[in-house]
Amino acid sequence: MNTRSCPDRFGLMALIAALVLLIAAVALSLVPPPAQAASLTRVTNFGTNPTGLNMYVYVPDRVAPRPAMLVMVHFCGGSASAVHNGNGRDYVTAADRLGYVIVYPEATRDGHCFDVSTPNALRRNGGGDSTGIMSMVSYARQRYNADAARIVVAGFSSGAMMTNVLAAQYPDVFSAGSAFSGVPAGCFATTNGSLWNSQCSGGNLLKTPQQWGDQARAMYPGYTGRYPRMQLWHGTTDTTLAYPNFGEELDQWTNLHGVSRTPVSTDQPQPSWTRTRYGTTGTTATIEGISIQGTGHSLPMAGMLAYSIAFLGLDKPPTTTTTTTTTTTPVPAGGCKVTASVSAWNTGLTETITIANTSAGAVNGWQLRFTLPGGQTITSGWSANYSPTSGEVTARNADYNAQIPPNGSVQIGFQATHTGDSAAAGEFTLNGERCAVG
């Protein structure tokens, strides 16, 4: 037996083994890491934010083309993560399945409640919490190419109160709302700077449907368009925001929609639930109220968010953006004003344009013409149809925002590429009338 052959053989085997391990290590290094799973993400610099709210978004791994957008507003003492990982979790799992985007406003003041009380908070573009939330909506609508006809809002307790306020102040933005344990828009109004109204919370602030409707209409004076569909939930033994507020909410929204306060249908989806529908029936009724017998301030409960998701239309396909066939109305001289703001980076930008009707009459159907700086080309847009994509552009209203009421406004925007000049568009005319810029 050759005594040298075994050590040589073992040495050769060791060398081969080392080479195999080296090849395996190299191969593993060439394999890309697994994609990071979708998670709750903080967004900064999203726009005007007068009260210092935080913004978080959840974008599922598979986003639908032109996705719906849910604005999810937390409860007093809550946070974005509290609803994302807690009692709003069913919205998240549905987003993973249906591909919609969730925007989470987060209150940062002591107590983490949303302001639905002060004068600034109860006026469209008034500089309160709702102003910051709408900046989040505009940012996300552009960033994720959201379906402007499927932007909806839902909230719990303080978030439910904000849901009512947002739907009243921005009826041209939201298509539907779902409020769990809330109060009518404006019910929590105060004049001393306090964010708490004991008369309202106790269910002792009672008004007629017309009075509640007028209070909501005062948040967006001059608006004559449609209001969002509303779904309202309340427990009969709620002592935090007392149960009479449920009836007052129904009074307000039936009045805003101009439908009878007498329900068109009544049923019990669950043994302790009583559901009433107003205006129309079906899953996407005009107004839906669900009263939960023997339940306090603890909504939502298991199974409720599935009904909310269906009511809000989050399970529906994207809408088709169309141009209205309404004949455009003339705009009086000096009857319009345009404000444009740009956020630019490298070779891209987004531009938000606010069109204000400063005349005494409504504008029904509109075309806004403007000139883009040289080198800019529109790649996508929202709330209008744009053509051509460079030079002198005409933005034509979508079917849902054709009317601009007296002293009202609409907001549109687009994303564009540029070759160095990222300035805002100029030379604005509305239905042929030159607009002031400012």
Please tell me the predicted confidence (pLDDT) of residue 327: 63
Q: Is 34 or 182 the better-scoring residue by pLDDT?
A: 182
Specify the 3-state DSSP secondary structure of 254: helix
The answer, yes or no, to whether residue 227 has pLDDT greater than 60, is yes
Q: What average pLDDT does the structure give for the chain?
A: 89
Our CA dihedral for 168, 110, 201, 185, rounded to 10 degrees, sits at 0
Whether 29 is catalytic: no
State the number of CA atoms in the 13 A half-sphere of 121 facing the CB: 23
As a whole number of angstroms, the distance between CA 183 and CA 196 comes to: 12
pLDDT, one tens digit per residue, over 183-200 is 999 999 999 999 999 999
Q: Please identify which residue in the block is written with the tokens 């319009």.
A: 336
pLDDT, one tens digit per residue, over 17-73 is 555 455 544 444 444 444 457 999 999 998 889 999 999 999 999 999 899 999 999
Which token pair is 116? 């639905």
The answer, yes or no, to whether residue 15 has pLDDT greater than 60, is no
Other Cβ atoms less than 10 A from the Cβ of 105: the count is 28
As a whole number of angstroms, the distance between CA 289 and CA 139 comes to: 32
The answer, yes or no, to whether residue 12 has pLDDT greater than 70, is no
As a whole number of angstroms, the distance between CA 214 and CA 412 comes to: 27
Please tell me the predicted confidence (pLDDT) of residue 382: 75
The answer, yes or no, to whether residue 151 has pLDDT greater than 90, is yes
Please tell me the predicted confidence (pLDDT) of residue 399: 66
Please tell me the predicted confidence (pLDDT) of residue 413: 84
- DSSP E strands, 128-228: 151-156, 176-180
Q: Is 189 or 397 the better-scoring residue by pLDDT?
A: 189
Please tell me the predicted confidence (pLDDT) of residue 219: 96
State residue 260 phi and psi, 5-degree precision: -65, 145
pLDDT, one tens digit per residue, over 237-296 is 999 999 999 999 999 999 999 999 999 999 999 999 999 999 999 999 999 999 999 999
Please tell me the predicted confidence (pLDDT) of residue 348: 84
Q: Can you list the alpha helix ranges (DSSP code H) found in 202-290? A: 209-217, 244-257
pTM comes to 0.72
pLDDT, one tens digit per residue, over 103-128 is 999 999 999 999 999 999 999 989 99
The answer, yes or no, to whether residue 309 has pLDDT greater than 50, is yes
Which residue from 201, 274, 276 is spatially nearest to 242, judged by alpha carbons? 201
Please tell me the predicted confidence (pLDDT) of residue 2: 42
Bridge partners of 105?
55
Please answer whether residues 409 and 401 qualify as being in contact, where contact means their C-beta atoms are separated by less than 8 angstroms.
no
pLDDT, one tens digit per residue, over 325-336 is 446 788 888 899
Please tell me the predicted confidence (pLDDT) of residue 346: 87
Other Cβ atoms less than 10 A from the Cβ of 394: the count is 14
Which residue from 153, 54, 46 is spatially nearest to 100, judged by alpha carbons? 153
Please tell me the predicted confidence (pLDDT) of residue 140: 93
Average pLDDT over residues 390-416: 87
Long-range contacts of 126-131 (CB under 8 A, 24+ apart): 127/50, 127/51, 128/50, 128/51, 129/51, 129/53, 129/105, 129/162, 130/162, 130/165, 130/166, 130/169, 130/170, 131/48, 131/49, 131/50, 131/51
Catalytic option among 79, 135, 157, 422: 157
Please tell me the predicted confidence (pLDDT) of residue 132: 95
Please tell me the predicted confidence (pLDDT) of residue 381: 75
Percent of the chain with pLDDT over 70: 89
State residue 208 phi and psi, 5-degree precision: -75, 160
Q: Can you list the alpha helix ranges (DSSP code H) found in 147-295? A: 158-169, 198-201, 209-217, 244-257
Please tell me the predicted confidence (pLDDT) of residue 400: 66
- DSSP E strands, 20-88: 40-43, 54-58, 69-73
Which residue from 268, 250, 274 is spatially nearest to 260, judged by alpha carbons? 250
> Using only C-alpha atoms, what is the Rg of the chain?
27
Please tell me the predicted confidence (pLDDT) of residue 345: 82
Band (222; pLDDT cuts 50, 70, 90): confident
Which residue from 117, 37, 42 is spatially nearest to 76, judged by alpha carbons? 117
Pick the most confident of 133-142, 257-266, 315-324.
257-266
